[in-house]
Structures are given as C-alpha cells and as structure tokens.
Structure 1
C-alpha cells in the first residue's frame, strides 16, 4: 500500500472548505447589549448631526435602555432635547432636558459643555441656578461653549441689561454652527430683546428743541422716475435713496432693468440706502450682471440691507467670481449681514418664514 502523502490543498481552498464545514450561523455573532447600545448611540449622533431630533431621541433612549451608564449618552440626549426646545419652541421638553443634563453634570462635574447646556435650560425656565452653572463652566475654561454664552444672554435679557444681552448672544452666535438650533433660538431672542427695548426702555432725556426740518415729499420724485430723460430718472432715484423710505422700494425696482446704466446704478444705490429687506429679491439677479461694477454695486446694496436672505447667493458668488473688486465687496457684505443679526436689524419676513418652517 502506498502510504506517501498526497499533494497538499492550497491554503485558500482549505480555508474555504473549513468555512463551509462550520455550523450555520457561526459567522454571524450576536451583538452584546453593550455593543448594541453603542450602535444605537452612533445612530443617535448621526441623526442629531442631520437635525433629525426625533430619530436621535429614539436612538439615544434605546441605547440607554440597554446600557444606562453608556458614556456621553445622557449628555447627548439632554442636548437633543435642548435642540428641540430651541428649534421648534417645544418648551414642554425642558423638564426632560434638565433631568438628563443634571445627571450628565453629576457624572462629569467638570464638563463645561454639560454645565453650559444645563445653564441654558435653566435660563429658559427662569431658574437662576443656571448662573452658578455658567460660573462653574467659566472657572474650568475661559472660552465658554456657545450654550454658556446663550444662557448669559438670556439672564441679561431678563434683567433688562440690553447691551450685555446682545453682547453675550453675539458670542454664542459666533461660537455655534451655521443653521444650528442655537442660532435659530438667538434670532428669536433678539426679536424679543428689540421689542422689549421699544416697550420698556425708560424715556430718554429730552433733547434740545431744534427747528423742524422741511418734510420730505417723495411724490414729485416718483413722477420724475417716469421721465423720458435718463438724467432726470437717475436724479430722482438718487433723491429717493433715504434710509427707511419704504414707499420708494416698489417705484425704484423697475429701474433696475432700465436701459441706461446710470439709472440702473442710481436705483441700486438708492435701494441699498433705504435698507428695506423686501428689496433683496429684485436685487439678486444683478449678481449675474455682465458689468463688474453693477455686480459690485448689487453686492454693496445687499450688504447695506443686511438681510439673511442674501447670504447664500453671496456665498455662491464668492465661489465663482473672478473680479477682486466684487470679491472684496461680497466678503464685506456677508460680514454686514452677520452684524445685522447682532444689531437687531433683521429681515422680519425671512425670520417669520424660518419660524413657520421650524414648526
């Protein structure tokens, strides 16, 4: 009998045969409770980053049901509750948010993010204990998280310290991501601040009596806008460029398509000086004008108006514009839009649109 060993099977083939011989289901290992909790936590974080607070809360809750001590889960769910409060004014969730964030602070008492988020929830509730939370966070880190500055802004707003409130909200706005629930909350808070200033501000000291200035009558210039002489139309447009003269926006708008360049430029500059947000829509097409000077004037007008509605079109212009003059003006205009949020010069129509969508 030939007892010599036969040729050895290739290693890869042997491994494949062993895999086939393995019991069915051996390749799929069931996740442990801790591993499944970790997977839910990852799903929750992904949903939170996308702004889907409902899916995030569901995933975080499942994770904590499997592993209540999962690191970061309590803080993540508390902050998601806070996002829902800020994005959709769901103030009924403050109890849930405070419960989770209080536990998160107990678990990590030197976590400035947890302290700041808890402070903001308490500030929204009118609970002054949040000021202590902010102080603890500030003692740990000089630069507060955005939630901490927002909490300070809310407390200063309640104290009618308007300048301090706006300064704190400005820091929170700068430290928070664009399109975040916190920025939406700050926009609403600034509207409240503006209204409170108008209603509750103490009367100013009486100013010396001055001779009344002659009242500006725009009607003759409205008629002059229809003149056949382009110089007359341009002169009328320049005369109507007065801050706050909202009635002039509609008559000036058709002149943005005037065949005469000087007339178009004069109307554009006038709309910028008037500063009414409803002029933004008719100005936006001029960002595509063949003339770099008209594009620059359009950019400046949008910056003067300061409406958030112009931000994305200006950012799109930055990505493709080649003229240095226009680029410089576009960057400045975006900065002016940022400044408008802090000085309460807001496009109320746009804000109401955003709030209605959030609901």
Structure 2
C-alpha cells in the first residue's frame, strides 16, 4: 500500500535554497563593482581567485585580519536598518590590516541568519560592497548560512576576513618608535563597533530609552547616532604610508587607548596624550553622564573620538599634517612618546582634576 505522506524537504526544515539564490542575484552588481583587475573568475565559485602576478612589490607579505560587528547588530535588528553594518564589518578587519602598512586587496564576508530574507541579505552585502569599494579592495566572495532553529527568525550575525599586501621592508611594527616621536590622531565617526554591551546597558537599562528617541545634543535620534558606521581609514592613511616614515599605527578598537596603544610600543616607551587636543563627540559625554562611567573606563572602552593614531618622527609632523589638510582630512596632534614604563598617560580636562 502506497503512503500518502509527503516527503520532507530542506525548506520544511527551515532552509530555503531558492531564497539564497535570489539573494545572490540581488547582490551581484554590488559585488562586481568592487572588483580590482587582479580578480579572476566570477561570483559563485567555490573559492575566490586573486592574482598577485602584477604586483610591483619585491618582497610581498600578505597581512590578514578577521572580525565581526558584535552586539551593535542588535540595534540594527531592533531598528530594521541593515544598510550600515556592512561597513562596520569591513572596517573592523581592513583597518587592522592597514596598521601593518598593508594595502587592502580583498575581503570575504560571512552572514548567518535564522530565516533568509533575500532583500535584507542583499542590503547587508551592498553595505559591505560599498565599504570595500571605498577601501579599494575587492569583495572576493562570502557565505550566507541559513541556520533555522539556531538563530531566531529575525536575528543574524555578520563577520568578515580581509587580506592586504605590503613589502616586507615596509611592514609597520612599531619597533623603531622612540622617545620624542609624535602622535597624530584621526577622528572617528562615533562609537564605531566596540563597547556596545556597555552602550546597551546604559541606553536601554539605565536610561530606558527607545532607539527612535531624539536627542538634542546629538541632532538626531539615539539609534541613528549609534548606528553611524565605523570609519574606513585606507583613503586618508595609504598616501601617508607610501610617502612618509610611519613608525607605528594604532586602530582604536575594543580596549580603547589603554589596551591598544601599548601593542605597538617597544619596551620602556610610553605615550603622553592630551585629551583636550581634539573635539569630543557629544555621544561620549552623554554615555559617561548617563552611565556614571569613570573617565578611565571611558578611555579603556571607547575610541573617544579618535579612531586611528599615527606615530611619526617630530620632523615629519608638519609635512604629514599639510598632506592631510590638502586632501581635506582632519587630524590632530594629540601627544608624544616618552621614556617610561607607564605605557599610557592621559592628561588634560578631567585627568587634571
């Protein structure tokens, strides 16, 4: 006797292959717009192909970095706004590659979803592609995983992997940094992608705010401010790396000033930073006030308005600042290196109380 039971399909288990194919079609043009001449093949292969045959670098070194967006995604999900987090994903890896002196070459993304919405995924990837194009790197491939029963229906995670190239003789390590060098800070666009567990505790638990709540000091809603994407630093920094002796670079991410700056300092060298030398973005003052957060904790958690630091010879400062100014880039002389076993000393403002 024949059974009338219908056989189960992958779709019955919560995975829609057709939706995945539609998402790929929706993102194809965005991805192709990022391709450099070195990209071989087309989107959809099992692996991305990238040729180094035309590189003029004598001793090529590949530099890689990987990271995710973290709990900032919760805000994007709550606001149903997914067009900015792709830039966060790219910036977190590409900025880390950059600080080694490397030119970004290509990037791959990974998106895991509870229920695949082709339009949502394509929107995320368009943000990734736009950031790759802005950084001069190709979006070489990626993966979208529909994980029914693992993530909630509207939840997703986003991470990525970037690769850059640098001549072995020009890798920026920080080993030549000595006392008397100067720190130049490049401004951030906001909170970037670190410290959001504390941000959410302050905004939602302490202040009981809604993301659509307008904040006069910010000139926008708190949600709009917090979702401002992480700044991409290749455009302002690559010309400096190519034309000047950049001794060290620091991407201010999780750990803020106190944890990130020592990563490039030789033994016996510390930095003294005057926190009054750049304009503080209003969001940081508000978070500190709303959460009653100690000033040291703020600088240990957030970028506080400086997303990238260059450590350079004092003799090069004027030329570097002029170069940045000519290209319309804001920069601030924020401190100096000193002979000291204390790695980071912050001065000025509240630190002089």
TM-score, length of structure 1 as denominator length = 0.20
Q: Which has the higher contact order (CA 8 A, sep 6+)?
A: 2
Q: Which has the higher strand share?
A: 2
Task: Answer with 1 or 2: which has the greater Rg.
Answer: 1
Give the structure with the larger helix fraction.
1
| TM score, norm. by length of structure 2 | 0.20
